[in-house]
Each structure stands twice: as C-alpha cells, then as structure tokens.
Chain A
Amino acid sequence: MSAFTEDEAPPRTAGPPRYADLEVGHELPSLTVRITRADLVRYAGSSTDFNTIHWSDRVAHEVGLPGVIAHGMLTMAQAARVVTDWVGDPAAIADFSVRFAKPVLVPDDDKGAEVVFGGRVAALLEDGMVRVDLTATCDGERVLTGARAFVRLP
C-alpha cells in the first residue's frame, strides 16, 4: 500500500467480513456523497453517457424534468461502494441490481445534491453467498429501490 497516498487508500475498517461471523440484519457502514454539476460532467466523460438531460437544464425541461438530473448509473456506482468498501474486494460482487425510483436533481450551484447510502445483510445463502440490500436517499426520499447485491464472502 506504500505506493498510494493517504487520499487513495481504501477506508480501513475492522477487516473484511467473514461469512461465518455474519447475521441477517448486520448493518454496513453508510456512505454520504455530494454530487455537483462538475461531477456529472466528469462522469459523462468517463462513462461516455452524454445524454443531454445530465448537463442541460433547457433540454431537461423540454422533456418534462424539473432540471438536470444525475446519471442513474453514477448513483448505482456509488451504491456499489457501500458493498466494496465493506467487503474489500470488488470481485466479490456476483449480481447487482437497482431500480431508479426517483431522479437525483442536481442544482447548478456549489453544493449540488447529497445522497446517503446504506446497506444491510438481508440473507445468508449457500456457498458463502450473502444478499445485501442497499438504500439510497436524497432529500429524505428514496432514489433507489430494490437495490441488492449478491456477494461471495470467504
């Protein structure tokens, strides 16, 4: 890890979870993320998703949205972090699904939008597989529903 600066090091917790130690209901550490217009521009470039509704208020209004909204896939990627930060191994995620229940509106200011992510162990399955149910909330409303990841643990 010495090759990395402090900023880049992954969050350190009590060590990776082990299947045998887990119980249904176990809460994963939550994650709070702030999303600004600059983040949307950056994600548009990295993902090649240049849909105009993620950067133009004019077009967003034309198609009936209240304003520019975040890429659902950016919210999904951030939700995945709740799992990968906890497990410590991104390869452990075998199946990951979400429903985009409500768009995340990102105002054109320095504050942007704040999304809070959480997760809990919902089921212990066979062969070390665990189902984690995830939540994502913006302004007190759920922006993802049915968000779940199947994760293989040691």
Chain B
Amino acid sequence: MSIDPAVVGRTYQSQRPYDVGREKVREFAESIGDPRPDYVAVDAPAPLAPPTFAFVLTLDGWHAIMADLDIEFSRVLHVDQRFVSKRPIRVGDVISGIAEIESVRERMGMSWLVIRTDIRTDQDEHVASTYSTILVREEAA
C-alpha cells in the first residue's frame, strides 16, 4: 500500500490524559522481568517508571495514525525506536502525547513512516520525546 506524502506534518493528540498509576508501573516492570525497587517500592511516594514505559503513549499515537491512514496493525513492523528523556516518568504524573508524522517514504514496495511523540504533563512540562520508524508491509498478492 502506498501512503500519501501529504500526511506529513499531521498531528494526533491523546484522546485523554494518562494517569500513571502505581500498579500499572509495577505490572509493566514485572512484565519486562525487572521489578527493581525504583519501580515497585511500596513505600516510595512516586516510584519511577522504567525507561521504555513512555512507549504506552507512543502507541496511543500509532493507533490514531493507523485509524486515520487505514493501516492494519498486524502489517506494521517496528524498525527503530528512540527515547529522549528530560526526566523519568513517575507514578502520579498525568501525561499526554502529541504524535506527529515526520516523514513518509516508499521503499521496496513498503511504506516507511517516522513518527515523533512529545510527552507532556498536565503542568505542561515536556518530559520526553519518542521517535519511531515503522514500516507497513504490503498486502499479500
């Protein structure tokens, strides 16, 4: 499938603010096999979320983009990923993401998209940006 380059620059705001919860951070840390005290301490007022937790917000943006461009998730492959953090996300943060399609190109019959997501708190503090390249595999002939 080919994606119209005119979509470059489109932005997608989170549907609702994401409330970073203690149990969610624990669940995430356990699922990556890394329940270190920084993430799961029951007596810490605001445990840290693991470095890749921000991807939950990135994925929110992907879903909005896939819906907009009529892309089926199973045809998406993740090519690369980068996180630039100003500070770690913590339990108690209320965050939202704004995703932007930074580039689209066609190569080897597939579409390659670069998506940037800026993550800010409800206090308008910019905590992180994520950069993803995804490719959309063509439909079977």
| Residues in A lying within 8 Å of B, measured CB to CB | 1, 3-4, 8-10, 33, 39, 42-43, 45-53, 59, 62-64, 72-74, 76-78, 80-81, 84, 89-91, 93-100, 103, 146
B31 / chain A contacts, CB cutoff of 8 Å: 39, 42-43, 45-47, 74
A84 / chain B contacts, CB cutoff of 8 Å: 34, 36, 50-51
A96 / chain B contacts, CB cutoff of 8 Å: 51-52, 82-83, 85
Q: B70 CB to closest chain A CB, in angstroms? A: 16
Task: Tell me if A46 and B36 are in contact (CB < 8 A).
Answer: no
Question: Which of B30, B74, B87 has its CB near the most chain A CB atoms (within 10 A)?
Answer: B74
Task: Tell me if B50 and A90 are in contact (CB < 8 A).
Answer: yes
Cβ-closest chain B residue relative to A51: B73
Asked if B43 is an interface residue, CB under 8 A from chain A, the answer is yes
* CA gap between A53 and B48 in the complex, in Å: 30
Q: A97 CB to closest chain B CB, in angstroms? A: 4
* CA gap between A47 and B50 in the complex, in Å: 12
B55 / chain A contacts, CB cutoff of 8 Å: 47, 49, 73
* CA gap between A49 and B43 in the complex, in Å: 29
Cβ-closest chain A residue relative to B80: A99
Q: How many residues of B contact A (CB 8 A)?
A: 42
Task: Tell me if B88 and A90 are in contact (CB < 8 A).
Answer: yes
With A80-B51, A98-B80, A99-B80 in contact, is A48–B59 under 8 Å at CB?
yes
Interface residues of B in 113-139 (CB under 8 A from A): 131, 137
Q: B140 CB to closest chain A CB, in angstroms? A: 7
Task: Tell me if B52 and A77 are in contact (CB < 8 A).
Answer: yes
Cβ-closest chain A residue relative to B29: A46
Asked if B112 is an interface residue, CB under 8 A from chain A, the answer is no
Query: Could you list 12 A-B pairs, sorted by A, with CB under 8 Å?
Result: A8-B35, A39-B33, A49-B59, A64-B137, A80-B52, A89-B38, A90-B48, A90-B51, A91-B48, A91-B87, A99-B79, A100-B78
A76 / chain B contacts, CB cutoff of 8 Å: 52, 81
Q: A53 CB to closest chain B CB, in angstroms? A: 5
Q: A69 CB to closest chain B CB, in angstroms? A: 9
Cβ-closest chain B residue relative to A3: B43
Q: B15 CB to closest chain A CB, in angstroms? A: 13
Knowing that A42-B30, A90-B50 are A-B contacts, what are 4 other residue pairs whose CB atoms are under 8 Å apart, sorted by A's residue number?
A3-B43, A46-B28, A63-B75, A91-B38
* CA gap between A78 and B30 in the complex, in Å: 11
Task: Tell me if A97 and B30 are in contact (CB < 8 A).
Answer: no
Task: Tell me if B56 and A47 are in contact (CB < 8 A).
Answer: yes
